[in-house]
């Protein structure tokens, strides 16, 4: 497929901007979590990691997935098991991995929300006016809902009139 050079440059520029915003978001997550650099193991880390026989004791990966010894999510314990195999009980690598996972999740959420916004802009008006009016005429509805809907309808009509005269 041949893409004109101007279009190729536009696509490339948009991708560069996305990478930049993704990097800014990841950096913001890292900055927010900087205080974790001074933390040791906290809260439920004894139960999940430092005293868990599936992680540091005689039990292991097989028991995490095949027995009731692992009383929490096996994915979490498998991650902790792999971490323990790689770097033992030093808390810093666990914190770094956690911060990187949070940064990745923030970027993923950002991309999902961008996609939803794009879909929303492409969709047609979901409900005809008659359906909205029937919904708003249900007894017991608050008056402000009708007022809000009427204002939105007036704005829509004003825009439609403006387009007709353009």
Residue ranges per structural domain of the chain? 10-127, 128-166
Q: What is the pTM of this model?
A: 0.59
% of the chain surpassing 90 pLDDT: 25
Tell how far CA 57 is from the center of its chain.
35
- What is the number of residues in the chain? 166
Tell me the C-alpha distance between 93 and 37, whole Å: 10
Q: What pLDDT band is residue 141 in, cutting at 50, 70 and 90?
A: very low
Tell me the C-alpha distance between 46 and 43, whole Å: 7
Tell me the C-alpha distance between 148 and 84, whole Å: 57
The pLDDT value given to residue 159? 77
Task: Answer yes or no: are the C-beta atoms of 64 and 81 closer than 8 Å.
Answer: yes
Per residue in 64-114, pLDDT (tens digit) is 898 887 767 888 889 899 999 999 999 999 999 999 999 999 999 988 888
Please, what's the largest Cα pairwise distance for the chain? Answer: 80
Q: What pLDDT band is residue 52 in, cutting at 50, 70 and 90?
A: confident
């Amino acid at each position: 497929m041949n893409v004109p050079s101007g279009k190729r440059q536009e696509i490339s520029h948009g991708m560069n901007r996305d990478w930049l915003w993704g990097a800014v978001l990841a950096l913001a997550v890292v900055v927010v979590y900087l205080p974790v650099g001074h933390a040791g193991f906290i809260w439920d880390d004894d139960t999940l990691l430092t005293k868990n026989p599936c992680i540091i004791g005689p039990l292991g990966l097989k028991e995490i997935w095949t027995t009731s010894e692992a009383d929490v999510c096996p994915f979490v314990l498998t991650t902790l098991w792999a971490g323990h195999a790689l770097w033992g009980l030093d808390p810093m690598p666990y914190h770094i991995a956690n911060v990187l996972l949070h940064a990745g999740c923030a970027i993923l959420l950002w991309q999902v929300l961008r996609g939803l916004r794009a879909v929303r802009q492409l969709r047609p008006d979901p409900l005809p006016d008659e359906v909205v009016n029937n919904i708003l005429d249900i007894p017991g509805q608050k008056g402000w809902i009708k007022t809000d809907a009427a204002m939105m309808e007036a704005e829509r009509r004003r825009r439609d009139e403006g387009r007709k005269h353009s």
